[in-house]
Structure 1
């Protein structure tokens, strides 16, 4: 297959190691009159549609293995996809809109260009303020004024180095060419969109045959969810939709956004475990002994210090499927903190989406790197489960936001001309008839009445919604529900 001319779905399915013949099971997208969703200069809707399609197909493939029936037909609704990729914007918690970006998470003009900071978490905010000589309790308006004056007289790269050295988050805006020439970007060249490795020769572990409706290809599977923010939780939320018993594990000392959890915590349970303590490590070992999947979304080095390398996990639980997600992938920044908005800035996406030459860098119409990588991660786990079902072996799948960014920038079809005005292109492509209400629903639960996006992953017989709403973080017991 000529990848330069293949569709995004074909590219993603090939990256997952899927049988190309199964692509025939994907029905043409049901647009419902919507032809201009997630408008941008870059092919964002192609990325969104493709990642949801391959996730749906991977779920259908696993369902076929577990029912000994033909692979169900996959159906993709563009409206559902676009709404799900902007789910945090549509979320309402007892009528209140969710908090997304904090005042200090934004673009700043510098002496030679632009820099973007991320300060949504209190500890990141405090570290950013420390580099400006400000105490952590500085009011937002004062902090913004001081940061603007300080950054305006400093080079972007110097700000990036200083803030990262202090444990904060600031990334200089680069063009795609500058990122490709940078050692951090060059390290990704030639790497697969989805890394797929067989760790050992563990025997096949087959779960019970599926029965009943809806069709839940991950029913009976147990997933340890060590992820935060958006991409990893989107992946595990998808596995929960498909029937997995997903148990999210958080460190008690790390803050998490309650609003983000309201968006991505559907279908899961949540427990706090201090993995560095004797009791926490023992509880984790007990869960791992019966786990089928471990999904890790922390930056490399964060959990390895607790002995949680892929090889060590597989040795302790042969036949395990391990999903590994990071912001920056391989290379000099492999162990650095990162978020979707920062990866967009570093890799040149923000430059490509700028309003015009020399203008403020732009942003994608969705946190598409997060949502797209999350869908791909869920698909990779599902495909690894199918391969384990057929051939055995512990499996490792590896993805990064930066590698997904390269896919969006350089490999997906239908990219617009680089000299087109992004604002004009967005207005021309936007579909005024699109109304997200069609793909929103309401669910009552422990965290209140939640208005949220419906799942975009769909195939014949698939569930229409999650089995449970999100509950309070850390409120559940460290035990499996499934036998």
Structure 2
């Protein structure tokens, strides 16, 4: 059966997303009458996963719930939302689609300088003929120490991969998984989708909605929206995010498109990825606070007391140990209540809820990597190209926040929401979403020429292949002065250009109030 063009498929998936997530409260006819999908017929990513169409559907939900907030707040006619599905597909390469005059500030501090750094986070064959995703986190020293491999050796890309491969071939996939659990590291066997669904963790996540939010208590009744001079949808809404890398910051960045005031907190002793400063701080202010220090903890508590939204993107339990768990944050928020979002790999229930995890772990645990590799004709599991689950989970996290803001204004209370990487991946390969047929996968490869992809390709490898294919085959779309991009003429990085907001809401144009900035750039205050 021929696949539907991407815009039509995105509409179907938007309806499916609405059906599966009652918290959205999108009227049945709104998607047909007020959401317009446009774009080319073909996906812009390799493989069988419907990532671009799902991303477009997520942005449609974002626009629809933003419209609900706007109507509650300002009245008037409902907005029409336009989603370009090609634009949504390119959004999945967001971190690499940027130009800036000045270099980022160094927050990596030596991470990923050696090929052994890169080798710590790749897919490897195992003794029993399976595949396993190792993950060295941001600092792979601890992983190599615990598994008994030398870290500081000099090696080429191929040599480094072979060194780690020789070690993984000594162990079965289950032995490697048990080892990672024992030592507290990320890592996952590359499961088949049905195999994952049969696990206790898969069962715990299977029926969880992607827009997963609940009222914790009613507090003091409905909370009015703050005064607004510019009539922006989230004007005056204050957000504190304690997040790292991609998924968590994407939540705040997406809320900032609608005018929210977002403060991103980077602890000064923790590394982050340099290039992400160009895109994932857009529209936000960034501060450096160490919650282990009493005076800085007090500053953070003061910010949270003002906030309407708090986003936790750290390892499970980390912020609670620092005094910023759900109960404490809600206590700090007082009678106005707060929306607390827990962004994580495995959700908040089930046997792996306390395990650390990253996008690659979600991709391999859920079965996405096995399915992707098979569709590409690879020898084993292959990560979906681009930081897909990170970015789409971030958008869905922003939708979850919007639901909480809407409901707090209507009913009052505190709200607890979950944005889960593995839950998104499971939905992506569910039977109701489906996969692109082999003939379409082959057609897309003929059009774009992405080239072969293999288990040893990590996220930067895959990202580079896809971005280069876009430059080669979609030069008009990749014009940084074109309609899909936005330019900031004067900021901490000088002139910078990046992708414009994907969701176009006709009555309330999206856009960021501030250019991107380095981590830890601003003072810890909402008075800006």
TM-score of the two chains, using structure 2 as the length reference:
0.82
Cα 1:26–1:369 shift into 2, 3 Å: farther
CA distance in 2, matches of 1:94, 1:361: 38
Residues 33-56 of structure 1 deviation map (CA, whole Å, 9 limit, x = unaligned): 453333431222221111011011
CA distance in 1, matches of 2:199, 2:434: 26
Residue 56 of structure 1 aligns with which residue? 63
Residue 461 of structure 2 aligns with which residue? none
What displacement does 1:19 show? 3.3
CA distance in 2, matches of 1:425, 1:229: 33
What displacement does 1:270 show? 1.2
Cα 1:217–1:52 shift into 2, 3 Å: same
Cα 1:73–1:233 shift into 2, 3 Å: same
What displacement does 1:447 show? 3.0
Alpha-carbon contact 1:248-1:270 (below 8 Å) kept: yes
Residue 410 of structure 1 aligns with which residue? 430
Equivalent residue runs for 1:68-79 within 5 Å: 68-79=75-86
What displacement does 1:235 show? 0.9
Q: Does 1:280 align with 2:306?
A: no
CA distance in 2, matches of 1:451, 1:267: 13
Choose the corresponding residue for 1:327, options 323, 327, 345: 345
Residue 411 of structure 2 aligns with which residue? 391
Cα 1:386–1:472 shift into 2, 3 Å: same
Choose the corresponding residue for 2:478, options 436, 441, 445: 436
Higher relative contact order (CA 8 A, sep 6+): 1
Alpha-carbon contact 2:345-2:361 (below 8 Å) kept: no
Residue 234 of structure 1 aligns with which residue? 250
What displacement does 1:127 show? 1.9
Moved more, 331-340 or 422-431: 422-431
SS in structure 2 opposite 1:199? strand
Ranges in structure 2 where 5+ consecutive residues have no aligned partner: 1-9, 449-469
CA distance in 2, matches of 1:149, 1:355: 24
Choose the corresponding residue for 1:301, options 310, 317, 328: 317
Equivalent residue runs for 1:52-201 within 5 Å: 52-94=59-101, 103-104=118-119, 105-111=121-127, 112-119=129-136, 121=138, 123=139, 125-141=140-156, 143-201=160-218
Q: Does 1:7 align with 2:12?
A: yes
Residue 389 of structure 2 aligns with which residue? 369
Residues 364-395 of structure 1 deviation map (CA, whole Å, 9 limit, x = unaligned): 23322111111111011112111111111111
Residue 310 of structure 1 aligns with which residue? 326
What displacement does 1:230 show? 1.1
Alpha-carbon contact 2:36-2:80 (below 8 Å) kept: no
Residues 137-160 of structure 1 deviation map (CA, whole Å, 9 limit, x = unaligned): 333536433212211232122223
Alpha-carbon contact 2:227-2:236 (below 8 Å) kept: no
Cα 1:428–1:170 shift into 2, 3 Å: same
What displacement does 1:210 show? 4.1
What displacement does 1:276 show? 2.7
CA distance in 2, matches of 1:96, 1:362: 32
CA distance in 2, matches of 1:393, 1:169: 35
CA distance in 2, matches of 1:184, 1:428: 38
Cα 1:466–1:334 shift into 2, 3 Å: same
Moved more, 423-432 or 369-378: 423-432
Residue 351 of structure 1 aligns with which residue? 370
Cα 1:237–1:412 shift into 2, 3 Å: farther
SS in structure 2 opposite 1:76? strand
Residue 207 of structure 1 aligns with which residue? 225
Q: Does 1:339 align with 2:358?
A: yes
Cα 1:37–1:145 shift into 2, 3 Å: closer
Ranges in structure 1 where 5+ consecutive residues have no aligned partner: none
Q: Does 1:446 align with 2:492?
A: yes
CA distance in 2, matches of 1:405, 1:276: 35
Residue 52 of structure 2 aligns with which residue? 45
Aligned length: 471
Residues 246-274 of structure 1 deviation map (CA, whole Å, 9 limit, x = unaligned): 11112221111121222211011111222
Alpha-carbon contact 2:46-2:441 (below 8 Å) kept: no
Residue 479 of structure 1 aligns with which residue? 525
SS in structure 2 opposite 1:458? strand
CA distance in 1, matches of 2:153, 2:441: 35
Alpha-carbon contact 1:127-1:166 (below 8 Å) kept: no
